[in-house]
Structure 1
């Protein structure tokens, strides 16, 4: 009888842990994505300094999109 009473608690704990892992992985992916966007934007400006404004604008937009994924993950995975 003890096992039956604790199964819902175990399932609840597993669901909460998987949600936390989900948010952590999304944060890691967003961090890597923003880092790559920044590195490639800096490389592009180094190759073509005249297009700095356009490159930085596009880089900031894509970095914001990558960061937006973490907010979606927090909304879906957070309690």
Structure 2
């Protein structure tokens, strides 16, 4: 029951934020909106990746505690998994930097 409620509340929050973003006018509001979008997106990505890495580390510690002989294989798998999770936050950083510095909307607004 908790998960559908969380998804519904998160969807409503995004809908409310999107309305305010689309109502903005002028170059200053476009820059401010993209700055906020980049900051919020990077914050969500970093937080979610941190939670994922913590859960992965928890599982690896529990697995090693249950079967110490498999510690080497668990460590290799853990490091590979952490690298994949961290790459997601790096992708979010790249998207945030594109929003901030190579935004096509800002070029179109300035050109007119």
What TM-score bracket applies, with the shorter chain setting the length?
A: 0.7 to 0.9
CA distance in 1, matches of 2:83, 2:36: 27
- Flag structure 2 segments of 5+ consecutive residues without an equivalent: 1-24, 101-112
- Paired residues in the alignment total 74
Structure 1 segments, 4+ long, off by >3 Å, are: none
- Residue 48 of structure 2 corresponds to residue 29 of structure 1: yes
Q: Offset of 1:8 from its aligned partner?
A: 2.3
Supply the RMSD in Å over aligned alpha carbons: 1.2
Larger RCO: 1 or 2 (CA < 8 Å, sep 6+): 1
Q: 2:79 aligns with which of 47, 55, 60?
A: 60
Using the size of structure 1 for normalisation, the TM-score is: 0.86
TM-score, normalization by structure 2: 0.62
